[in-house]
Amino acid sequence: MALGLGTLILVGSAAPTRRLRVYYAACALVLLLASEVGAPLPVRSTDSNGEWMGDYLTYIEDREHFENYFGYESIPFPHHLTTRVIRVIDDALGATDGTPALAFRWLSGLAGAVYVAELVGIATLMRWSPTAMRYLPLCVAAPVTLLFFGYR
């Protein structure tokens, strides 16, 4: 998905006018955001998608597990920033048994939206030049983009 959308932006870099380049990028970035919602990464490992190495299912197993990992008493060093953000999102969603999984989903969606906003900002600063349009596909196709399809 990200590779295809990056290719669309790259094709748009050859457009003769700024307006056309903006349209190419806007289409690709809107599709990227839509695909983050419509095509999230699977939650559980299967024979077709391989093994997951994350602790996501442990974190959201129940409210007690979530509180142990993301509670207010301690902040684990490996994910000290994420702990605070996840907790704020969870609290905003009502801090019920079902909100930990939703908080992770919101985190990945917000990260994706911020990433796209940054790309638009960079392209705008560069006046949607062909150079900017060749830079955007690298960012869209980068492996980090996959995180926005479901940070788990």
> What is the rounded CA–CA span in Å between residue 135 and residue 126?
11
Whether 110 and 93 have beta carbons less than 8 Å apart is answered as: no
> What is the rounded CA–CA span in Å between residue 75 and residue 82?
10
> Based on C-alpha coordinates, what's the Rg of the chain?
18
Please state, as a whole number, how many other Cβ atoms lie within 10 Å of the Cβ of residue 134. 14
pLDDT at 151: 57
> What is the rounded CA–CA span in Å between residue 117 and residue 139?
12
pLDDT at 38: 82
Low pLDDT (below 70) residues in the chain: 41-54, 145-152
Whether 126 and 12 have beta carbons less than 8 Å apart is answered as: no
The structure tokens listed for 77 are: 């060093």
Instruction: Please give the model's pTM, rounded to 2 decimal places.
Output: 0.81
Whether 47 and 55 have beta carbons less than 8 Å apart is answered as: no
pLDDT at 30: 96
pLDDT at 70: 86
pLDDT at 152: 55
